[in-house]
Amino acid sequence: AAPGSVEPRTGVTFPTEASAGRSLLGVGLRKTSVLGLKSIDVYAFGVYADGTDLKQQLMEKYRKFSTSELKENAELTNDVLEQDIQMTVKLQIVYGRLSIRSVRSAFEKSVGTRLQKFGGQDTKDLLQSFVALFKDEYKLPKGSEIELSRESNHVLKISIGGEEVGSIQSKLLCRSILDLYIGEDPFDKNAKDNVQENIASILHS
Ligand code: DAO
Ligand code: DAO
Ligand code: DAO
């Protein structure tokens, strides 16, 4: 098999490198619960970052800390979210009956909460106009691959099945999306911890 990391609960493998030489830092699972009862595995994900950007933006500030101090350092994650560091989150859908309607409402909830938290109330209309672009006729069957990437200068790029479907320059939106995976209340705590550990070791390499 090609080198990579397997997300253990779904068996999805993520390659150790994403496009443009970004390295895999952690893998995880995005779940949801229906009616607060049944838990559904929705997608597996892999978080990648450009090692050179990490060093350039963060080394100066964090070199004085040991690796174990860095693993616990909340400010480090905050800086990763804020700075102009190229990152990619690859998603692979594992839920077989995902409707665009539920993608829309999940997005409103997950990303919407973050937009409000970091940007304030006036992001609401923008969010509405964005989710309106998720048309009902789109399909995201099991196995679909989505890439969310932050390009330099805070450009968010979204690709589905290797095809770019949109991009927008917004520091707030980039931050809000990455926060789902490595922020304060992440989808998968274990994935977040692995990402932070790997960032710590990159900063000491
Ligand atoms: O079908 O009732 C249901 C549950 C569906 C849950 C959907 C969660 C969607 C998560 C966002 C996926 C983004 C690609
Ligand atoms: O898991 O709650 C979440 C948010 C995931 C962000 C996924 C964005 C996907 C946009 C593609 C929609 C295409 C119809
Ligand atoms: O950063 O200036 C800003 C405000 C951006 C708000 C983003 C709202 C989200 C909807 C647009 C997403 C399009 C991909």
Predicted confidence (pLDDT) at residue 11 exceeds the cutoff of 60: yes
Structural domains for the chain: 4-203 (3.50.70.10)
Q: What is the 3-state secondary structure (H, E, C) of the chain?
A: CCCEEEECCCCEEEECEEHHHEEEEEEEEEEEEECCCEEEEEEEEEEEECHHHHHHHHHHHHCCCCHHHHHCCHHHHHHHHHCCCCEEEEEEECCCCCCHHHHHHHHHHHHHHHHHHHHCHHHHHHHHHHHCCCCCCCCCCCCCEEEEEEECCCEEEEEECCEEEEEEECHHHHHHHHHHHHCCCCCCHHHHHHHHHHHHHHHCC
pLDDT digits (tens, 9 = 90+) for 110-168: 999 999 999 987 888 888 888 888 888 889 999 999 999 999 999 999 999 999 998 99
Six token digits for residue 112: 């919407």
- Residue 98 CA, ligand 1 centroid: distance in Å: 6
- Residue 203 CA, ligand 2 centroid: distance in Å: 30
Ligand 3 binding pocket includes 165 (Cβ within 6 Å): no
- Residue 56 CA, ligand 1 centroid: distance in Å: 37
User: Atom 14 (ligand 1): residue with closest C-alpha?
Assistant: 103
User: Atom 9 (ligand 3): residue with closest C-alpha?
Assistant: 127
Percent of the chain with pLDDT over 90: 82
If you average pLDDT over every residue of the chain, what do you get? 94
Q: What is the mean pLDDT of residues 166-187?
A: 96
pLDDT digits (tens, 9 = 90+) for 187-199: 999 999 999 999 9
pLDDT of residue 1: 45
- For ligand 3, what atom is nearest to the CA of residue 173? 7
Predicted confidence (pLDDT) at residue 81 exceeds the cutoff of 90: yes
Ligand 2 binding pocket includes 146 (Cβ within 6 Å): yes
ipTM: 0.78
Work out the pLDDT band at 2, boundaries 50, 70, 90. Answer: low
Give the pTM: 0.93
Ligand 2 binding pocket includes 134 (Cβ within 6 Å): yes
Question: Is the CB of residue 96 less than 8 Å from the CB of residue 41?
Answer: no
Q: What CA–CA distances, in Å, run from 46 to 72, 124, 131, 184?
A: 21, 28, 23, 18
Q: What is the mean pLDDT of residues 50-72?
A: 95
Predicted confidence (pLDDT) at residue 3 exceeds the cutoff of 80: no
Predicted confidence (pLDDT) at residue 95 exceeds the cutoff of 90: yes
